[in-house]
Homo-oligomer: A and B are copies of this chain.
Amino acid sequence: MKTLMAMGGALNRKKPLVLREFVRRAGGTEARIAILPQASALDDTWQYYEDLFKELGAAEATSLRFRQRNEADSPERLAILRKASGIFIAGGNQMRLAALLGGTMFESELHQAYQRGVIIGGTSAGAAVLSQVMIAYGKNGSTPREGICQFLPGFGFSKKIIFDQHFRQRDRIGRLIYAVTASPGVLGVGVDEDTAAILVDDDEITVAGSGSVMILDGSQIAETDVAEIEKKAPIAVSGLNLHVLTDGCTYRLVTRQASIPSKVLLSE
């Protein structure tokens, strides 16, 4: 079973619903978690997550600390990836991850781990980089406009999805509408803070956490002018499908159907 966990950033530490679920899926008390802190500009990000994963009961939590591309492929680091049961990519700037690791043996080991069933989780920038076509940066809010965001290749664990994060908190629906309109074969998945979209076998998404996940499906787009208008002009698009999903809801890419569990109290 292949599992990706795209987390929306700003994960609650006091009520760590999302990271507890990550540790559980990585093996719980047996979990051996490899941490990639490189997206972050802070010096203590690695320590923060090592401590947190140990608090959550993981057997091991080991950071892979390096800042230069030529440091990536050391045998010790690759060995840590090979024995990990979960890989966690911290937040910051997703371009740092892509520029640092794109084309390395290290990146190749990440993909092999994913194929073996090692859960790959990322928060914020670490979620963005899971996509094949990654939103590298862009403007928040406002109307969807031509060129509102920049795309770059990410790690490409899923070729079917563009993940965006801090989604409603930073009002990013404009750029996700633009992304899906320009590339309707790819599903837009916008993940709120303290929330995760958990993708199993590149098909079923389950939502976990305190916020919501917005799914933008462009497969039924009827008309758009996105390829015709000037840069920065507002785009027009018709026929997008939209789902807003919360903790416990699921969505299947194959059927393009969501399932929302009933929350009716039995006492009612």
Contact = CB atoms under 8 A, between A and B. Distances in A.
Contacts of A259: 223, 238
A246 B236 contact: yes
Contacts of A242: 177, 216, 240-242
Interface residues of A, number: 45
Contact of A169 (B142, B216, B238): B142
A223 B168 contact: no
B241 A245 contact: no
A244 B234 CA distance: 9
Contacts of A143: 168, 192, 211-212, 244
Interface string A160-178: 0000000011010110010
Interface string A221-257: 0111100110001111111111111100101000001
Please indicate which of the listed interface residues A168, A225, A238, A260 has the most CB atoms of chain B within 10 Å of its own CB.
A238
B260 A223 contact: yes
Interface in A127-175: 141-144, 168-169, 171, 173-174
A260 B192 CA distance: 31
B240 A241 contact: yes
A262 interface: yes
Contacts of A225: 246, 260-263
Given A143-B168, A243-B240, A212 B228 contact: no
Contact of A168 (B142, B237, B241, B245): B142
A1 interface: no
A239 B237 contact: no
A264 interface: yes
Contacts of A263: 225, 228-229
Contact of A260 (B173, B237, B243, B258): B237
Contacts of A174: 168
A214 to B, nearest CB: 9
> Which 4 residue pairs of A and B lie closest in terms of their CB atoms, listed nearest first?
A238-B258, A240-B242, A223-B260, A238-B243
Given A173-B173, A222-B257, A236-B244, 17 more contacts: A171-B171, A212-B234, A212-B236, A223-B258, A225-B263, A229-B263, A235-B246, A236-B245, A236-B246, A237-B244, A238-B243, A238-B245, A238-B251, A238-B259, A239-B258, A240-B241, A240-B243
